A and B are shown apart, each in its own frame.
Chain A
Amino acid sequence: MILPWLILIPFIGGLLCWQFERFGNVLPRWIALLTMGLLFALGLWLWATGDFSLAPAPGAAPQWAAEFQVPWIERFGISIHLALDGLSVLMISLTGLLGVLSVLCSWNEIQNRVGFFHLNLMWILGGVVGVFLAVDLFLFFFFWEMMLVPMFFLIALWGHSGSDGKTRITAATKFFIFTQASGLIMLLAILGLVFVHFNQTGVLTFNYADLLQTKMSAGTEYILMLGFFIAFAVKFPVVPFHSWLPDAHAQAPTAGSVDLAGILLKTAAYGLLRFALPLFPNASAEFAPIAQWLGVFAIIYGALLSFAQTDIKRLVAYSSVSHMGFVLIAIYSASEIALQGAVVQMLAHGLSAAALFILCGQLYERLHTRDMREMGGIWARMPWLPALSLFFAAAALGLPGTGNFVGEFLILLGSFQSAPWVTIVAATGLVFGSVYALIMIHRAFFGPAKADTTLPGLQLRELSMVLGLAVLLILLGVYPQPVLDTSAASMQGVQQWLGNALNQPVLAR
C-alpha cells in the first residue's frame, strides 16, 4: 500500500504549497521541504527493508519486491499497477534526495510566485516517481507525458533569458515539443504492441507481465522497438535528438536544471532497461551495435561541444550528453558488469551533475552571469565554492575515489568483451572529459580576476548541500557494494533478456 503514497505525497504536497502561499513565502518552502524529506525517507526505508533479490527475469512471471494493483480503465484492461524492484528503489531514493536539494537550492533564487513554483516542482517529481513505479504501459505513458507540463512552466516562468537572445519560452517550448512528439511515437508503439497481443490472445491489456509474453514477427518487433527507442532517445538524450537539452538547461532555474539532469534524463535509461529491452529482446539485440555507436558518438560529440561552450550551464549540459553516452553503451552491452556500472553511473551522474548545477546557480546568484568570459580569478575572491567546483569537475572526469569512476570503469570493463572497438573509442571520451572539465575550472576560477571585490561566501545551507553531495559521491566511489547488491537481480534479468537473444543463432530469429 505504500507505493501509491510515493506518488500521491508529492502531488498533495504541491497543492498544499500552492494554497498556503497566501500565508507568506516561507511556508510553501517548508511544506515542499517536508514533502520531499518524507519522500526521501520513504525511499530509504523501502531500500532498507525490501527484498531486492526479487526482480523480473525472462522465463517466468515478473516478481517484485512490492506491488500494488487496482483496476482503472476496464474497457482497455488498464489498471493502476505499480511495482518496485532494486532499480526503481534506487531511482526513487535519488529522486527524493534531489527533490530535497532542488527545494533548498531555490530558497533564495525564487522570490515571486513561490507557491506556484513549488507546485510545479512537486508535480514534476511526482510524475517522475510514477514513471519509476508504473508497470502498466498506459500508466507509464500517462506519467511520462504528465511530467512535461510542470517542467514546461518551471522553465518558461522562472527561467533566465539566454545569453544569445533566446528566450526561456522558446527553450521551454522546444523541450515540450521534442518530448511530446517523441512520446506520441511511443504511444503508437505501445498501442501496436497491445493490438498484436490482442490479436494473439483476444485479451486487451496494457499490463507489463502479459505483454512480455507477446510473440511478434521480427519486422514488427523491430519497428515497435524503434518507437520506444525514439521516445527514450530524445529524453536520454542521444545525439541527433539532443538539441533541446542545452537550451532547456541554460534557461531553466537551478532547481529545474537539477531535476532535469539529475532525474529526468534517468527516466529514459530506466525506460530502456525496464521496457524496451525486455519487451523487444531480439530486436534490441539486432539494434545493439547501432545504439552503442550512437552512445560513442554522443560521448565524443558531447565532450567536444562542451569544450566549446562559453556559458557554464551549457557546458555542464553537454557534459551530461557525454556521460549518458556511457550509460547507453552499457545498456546495450548485454554484460551484467556493464549494466551494474550503468546503474552506478546513473546515480553518480545524478549527484555530480546536480552538484555542478547547484554550484553554477550559486555562482550566478553572486555574479549575475553564466558567461565564463566574464569570470576568471574567482579562486581568490571567495572561499569554498571554487574548491568544491574543482572536486565535482574532477568527479565528472572520472577521478578514482568518486562514484563516476566506479561507473565508468565497470561500464568499460563489462563492454570490452562483447564490443571491444566501441569500448576503445568510448574510453578516449574520458580524455576529452578531463579536457572540458579542467578548462571549465581554468576559465572560471583561475586566470586574471575581472574585479577585486570579494564575493559573499557560501551560507550554511548552500555549503551543506554541496558538501553532502560530495560525501555521498565519495561513499559511492569507495564502497558501491550496497548499490550493486540492490540492483543485482534487476540487472541480471535485463542481461538475460538481451543475452539470450544475442546468443540465439541468427537463423532462429
Chain B
Amino acid sequence: MQLTTQHFIALLPLLITSATVVVVMLGIAWKRNHTLTFGLSVLGLNLALLSLLPALGVTPIEVTPLLLVDKFACYYMALVLAATLACVTLTHAYLGGESGKGYPGNREELYLLMLLSAAGGLVLVSAQHLAGLFIGLELLSVPTYGMIAYAFFNKRSLEAGIKYMVLSAAGSAFLLFGMALLYAESGNLTFAGIGAQLAANGLPSMLAQLGVGMMLIGLAFKLSLVPFHLWTPDVYEGAPAPVAAFLATASKVAVFAVLLRLYQMSPAMAGGWLSDLLTLIAIASIIFGNLLALLQNNLKRLLGYSSIAHFGYLLVALIASKGLAVEAVGVYLATYVLTSLGAFGVITLMSTPYNGRDCDALYEYRGLFWRRPYLTAVLTVMMLSLAGIPLTAGFIGKFYVVAAGVQSQQWWLLAALVIGSAIGVFYYLRVMVTLFMAEPNMHRHDAPFDWAQRAGGIMLLVVAVLAFALGVYPQPLLELVQQAGLVAVLP
C-alpha cells in the first residue's frame, strides 16, 4: 500500500509522541536533568494534542490495514493524551524539585516509560485489526510494569509491579490464544472481516465463540473486571500515585475504546451465551467492586475497587450497543478520566514530594478541610462525581449510561446499577465525612502550602473546575462526543 502525505498527517499524533520518546531518551543520555525531561515530555504531548487538528481534517482514513484513524480514534487519542499530560504533570510534582528532597533514584526514566505507554494507547484506540490490537496493548502494558515498580526500594511497589507483570502476561496469553482460534475459524484478522465472516455462517461455531470468550478474558484482565480483578487493589496501592492515576485513566480508556470498536464493528461476536457472559461479568463487577470497596481504609485501594464498579457501569452501555451506547461510553469515559485524575491528583499532592510511602491511609485525610480547604473541595467534588451526584460531571456520565440501558431495556443490568450505586454512595460518603471531621493530633503528610501555585496544583484545579462545569453545562462535551461516533448512530 502506498503511503501518502495524508496518511502521515493522520498518524501525526502517534509519530510526534514516538519522536518525543526518542528525544527524551537521547536527552537523558546526554544530560540528566529532571526539569528538562519534564519540559520535553510536556512539549511533545502538547504538540501531539495539537496535531489532532490536522489529523481530524483527513479522517476517516485507513493507514495500513492495521490502523483506522477516524473521529472516534481522534476523540480517544485526545483523551489518552490529555490524561497522560495530566499524569506527567503530577509526576513532576511527585518526584520532587531540584533540591535533595523527593525521589532518591533516577527520576527521568518514568517520563520515558509513560510516553511509551501513551504511544501504545494511541495505537490501541485506532486499531482495526487484531495484530494492531495486540501491538498496541503490549506497547501500553509493558512500560507500565516498569512504572508500577518504579519505586522499587519500596517493597509494595516492587511486589505490585511483579504481580501486574505476571497477571498481565497471563491475560495477553489468553488474548493471543483467542485470536488464534478466531483466525482459525474465520481466516481473517480485521475486526470488520471477522464480524462479516461470523455473521455469514449464521450462528458462530463453538470454536469462534471460545475464541471470542478467551479474548474477552484477556481484555477483562486489563480492565480489571470481576472475576479477573484480583490484581487491582494491590497494584493501585503499590504503584506510585501518579502511575496509579495513569493506570486508572489513560490505560483503561484505551483498552475500553478498542473493546467498544471491536463490538461495534463485529456485532456477531456478542451472540449467544457470550452476551450472557458479558452481562454476568458486568453485574458481578458492579456488585463486587462496590461491596469490596465498602470496608477499605486505604484510599488507593478504595479507588481501585471503585474503578472495577465503574467499568461494570460502562459495560452496561457496551452491552446496550445500540442507540445512545457509543455516545454514552464516550461521555462516561471522559467524566471518569476527569474524576479519577482529580482523585489521584489529590493523593499525589498529599504525598508530594516523595518520601518513601504514599499518603493513602484514610486517617491521614481526617480534618483535611480545616488545613487545606481548597484541596478538600477538589476531593469532595471528585467523590461526589464518582458517586454520580448532580452538579458534577459524574452525574452526566451516569445519566447517559442509564439512558442507554433504559433505551435497550437492560433491566437486570440497571437493577444492578441502582443497587451498586446505593452501596457505592456509602463509601464515597465515608471518605467525604473523613475530610471534614475533627483533626487528629498527628499528621505525617500534607500537601505543601503553595500546592496551588505549582503545575500539578494548577492542573488539579482545572480538573475540578471542569468536573463542576461539565456537571452544570455538559452540552459542549455532548456535542463533541456526538461527532466522535463510529457511525452515525441516532437514538
Report B463-482 CB contacts with A as 1/0, cut-off 8 Å. 00000000001110011001
For the complex formed, measure the closest distance between the CB of B122 and the CB atoms of chain A, giving whole angstroms. 28
* B402 contacts chain A at the CB level, 8 A cutoff: yes
Q: Which of A149-157, A296-304, A335-343, A411-419 contacts B (4 or more CB under 8 A)?
A: A149-157
B418 contacts A188, CB within 8 Å? yes
Task: Give complex CA distance A318, B187 in Å.
Answer: 70
* A8 contacts chain B at the CB level, 8 A cutoff: no
Closest to B422 in A: A181
Report A119-150 CB contacts with B as 1/0, cut-off 8 Å. 00000000000000000000001110110110
A149 contacts B389, CB within 8 Å? yes
* B436 contacts chain A at the CB level, 8 A cutoff: yes
B406 contacts A72, CB within 8 Å? no
* A452 contacts chain B at the CB level, 8 A cutoff: no
B406 contacts A181, CB within 8 Å? no
* A204 contacts chain B at the CB level, 8 A cutoff: yes
Task: Give complex CA distance A440, B419 in Å.
Answer: 39
A169 contacts B475, CB within 8 Å? no
For the complex formed, measure the closest distance between the CB of A376 and the CB atoms of chain B, giving whole angstroms. 34
Task: Give complex CA distance A316, B169 in Å.
Answer: 62
Closest to A141 in B: B390
How many A residues face the partner with a CB closer than 8 A? Answer: 32
| Interchain CB contact (< 8 A) of B402 among A149, A152, A187 | A187
Task: Give complex CA distance A4, B417 in Å.
Answer: 33
Supposing A169-B433, A191-B403, A198-B491 touch, asked if A148 and B389 sit within 8 A by C-beta, the answer is: yes
For the complex formed, measure the closest distance between the CB of A134 and the CB atoms of chain B, giving whole angstroms. 12
B478 contacts A73, CB within 8 Å? yes
List, in ascending order, chain B residues with CB within 8 A of A188's CB: 402, 406, 414, 418
A74 contacts B475, CB within 8 Å? yes
| Interchain CB contact (< 8 A) of A153 among B421, B426, B436, B482 | B436
For the complex formed, measure the closest distance between the CB of B278 and the CB atoms of chain A, giving whole angstroms. 21
* B162 contacts chain A at the CB level, 8 A cutoff: no
Closest to A190 in B: B406
List, in ascending order, chain B residues with CB within 8 A of A148's CB: 389
* A185 contacts chain B at the CB level, 8 A cutoff: yes
List, in ascending order, chain A residues with CB within 8 A of B421's CB: 180-181, 184
List, in ascending order, chain A residues with CB within 8 A of B399's CB: 187
Task: Give complex CA distance A73, B403 in Å.
Answer: 14
Task: Give complex CA distance A198, B433 in Å.
Answer: 41
List, in ascending order, chain A residues with CB within 8 A of B406's CB: 188, 191-192, 195
B478 contacts A75, CB within 8 Å? yes
A72 contacts B473, CB within 8 Å? yes
* B425 contacts chain A at the CB level, 8 A cutoff: yes
Task: Give complex CA distance A482, B406 in Å.
Answer: 44
* A173 contacts chain B at the CB level, 8 A cutoff: yes
Task: Give complex CA distance A111, B291 in Å.
Answer: 37
Q: For chain B, residues 289 to 340, give those with C-beta under 8 angstroms from any C-beta of chain A.
A: none
* A431 contacts chain B at the CB level, 8 A cutoff: no
Question: Main secondary structure on chain B at its contact with chain A?
Answer: helix
Closest to A18 in B: B373
* B429 contacts chain A at the CB level, 8 A cutoff: yes
Question: Which of B389, B390, B391, B429 is the most central at the interface, judged by chain A CB atoms within 10 Å of its CB?
Answer: B390
* B384 contacts chain A at the CB level, 8 A cutoff: yes
List, in ascending order, chain B residues with CB within 8 A of A156's CB: 429, 433, 436
List, in ascending order, chain B residues with CB within 8 A of A180's CB: 387, 389, 421-422, 425
Report B172-212 CB contacts with A as 1/0, cut-off 8 Å. 00000000000000000000000000000000000000000
How many B residues face the partner with a CB closer than 8 A? Answer: 30
Task: Give complex CA distance A176, B403 in Å.
Answer: 23
List, in ascending order, chain A residues with CB within 8 A of B387's CB: 180
A73 contacts B418, CB within 8 Å? no
Task: Give complex CA distance A152, B428 in Å.
Answer: 12
List, in ascending order, chain B residues with CB within 8 A of A191's CB: 402-403, 406-407
* A177 contacts chain B at the CB level, 8 A cutoff: yes
Task: Give complex CA distance A141, B395 in Å.
Answer: 11
List, in ascending order, chain B residues with CB within 8 A of A145's CB: 389-390, 395
Task: Give complex CA distance A133, B479 in Å.
Answer: 28
List, in ascending order, chain A residues with CB within 8 A of B482's CB: 75
A181 contacts B418, CB within 8 Å? yes
A184 contacts B475, CB within 8 Å? no
Supposing A181-B421, A191-B406 touch, asked if A152 and B491 sit within 8 A by C-beta, the answer is: no
Q: For chain A, residues 61 to 75, give those with C-beta under 8 angstroms from any C-beta of chain B.
A: 72-75
Task: Give complex CA distance A191, B399 in Å.
Answer: 9
List, in ascending order, chain B residues with CB within 8 A of A169's CB: 433
List, in ascending order, chain B residues with CB within 8 A of A173's CB: 425-426, 429-430, 433
Q: For chain B, residues 92 to 116, give those with C-beta under 8 angstroms from any C-beta of chain A.
A: none
A184 contacts B473, CB within 8 Å? no
Closest to B391 in A: A146
For the complex formed, measure the closest distance between the CB of B218 and the CB atoms of chain A, giving whole angstroms. 33
For the complex formed, measure the closest distance between the CB of A123 and the CB atoms of chain B, giving whole angstroms. 10
For the complex formed, measure the closest distance between the CB of A270 and the CB atoms of chain B, giving whole angstroms. 18
A149 contacts B384, CB within 8 Å? yes
| Interchain CB contact (< 8 A) of A176 among B390, B418, B429, B475 | B429
Report B424-446 CB contacts with A as 1/0, cut-off 8 Å. 01100110010010000000000
Closest to A180 in B: B425
Task: Give complex CA distance A172, B390 in Å.
Answer: 18
For the complex formed, measure the closest distance between the CB of B488 and the CB atoms of chain A, giving whole angstroms. 15
Q: For chain B, residues 362 to 408, give those with C-beta under 8 angstroms from any C-beta of chain A.
A: 384, 387, 389-391, 395, 399, 402-403, 406-407
For the complex formed, measure the closest distance between the CB of B469 and the CB atoms of chain A, giving whole angstroms. 13
Supposing A184-B421, A188-B418 touch, asked if A195 and B407 sit within 8 A by C-beta, the answer is: yes
List, in ascending order, chain A residues with CB within 8 A of B403's CB: 76, 191, 195
List, in ascending order, chain A residues with CB within 8 A of B429's CB: 152, 156, 172-173, 176
Question: Which of A73, A149, A152 is the most central at the interface, judged by chain B CB atoms within 10 Å of its CB?
Answer: A149
Task: Give complex CA distance A187, B403 in Å.
Answer: 9
B426 contacts A177, CB within 8 Å? yes
Closest to A157 in B: B436
List, in ascending order, chain A residues with CB within 8 A of B414's CB: 188
For the complex formed, measure the closest distance between the CB of A203 and the CB atoms of chain B, giving whole angstroms. 11
Task: Give complex CA distance A195, B402 in Å.
Answer: 12
B402 contacts A75, CB within 8 Å? no
Closest to B423 in A: A177
For the complex formed, measure the closest distance between the CB of A194 and the CB atoms of chain B, giving whole angstroms. 8
Closest to A204 in B: B491
Task: Give complex CA distance A73, B436 in Å.
Answer: 34
Task: Give complex CA distance A177, B426 in Å.
Answer: 7
Closest to A148 in B: B389
List, in ascending order, chain B residues with CB within 8 A of A141's CB: 390
Task: Give complex CA distance A141, B482 in Å.
Answer: 24
Report A377-405 CB contacts with B as 1/0, cut-off 8 Å. 00000000000000000000000000000
List, in ascending order, chain B residues with CB within 8 A of A146's CB: 389-391
B422 contacts A72, CB within 8 Å? no
List, in ascending order, chain B residues with CB within 8 A of A153's CB: 436
9 shortest A-B CB distances, which residue pairs?
A: A181-B422, A191-B406, A75-B478, A146-B390, A142-B390, A184-B418, A145-B390, A180-B425, A156-B433
Could you jot down 25 A-B contacts, CB within 8 Å?
A73-B473, A73-B475, A73-B478, A75-B478, A75-B479, A75-B482, A76-B403, A142-B391, A142-B395, A145-B395, A146-B389, A146-B390, A148-B389, A149-B384, A156-B433, A157-B436, A173-B426, A173-B429, A176-B429, A180-B389, A187-B402, A191-B406, A191-B407, A195-B406, A195-B407
Other than A157-B433, A173-B430, A184-B402, give 4 A-B pairs with Cβ distance below 8 A: A74-B475, A141-B390, A146-B391, A181-B418
B interface vs A, CB < 8 Å?
384, 387, 389-391, 395, 399, 402-403, 406-407, 414, 417-419, 421-422, 425-426, 429-430, 433, 436, 473-475, 478-479, 482, 491
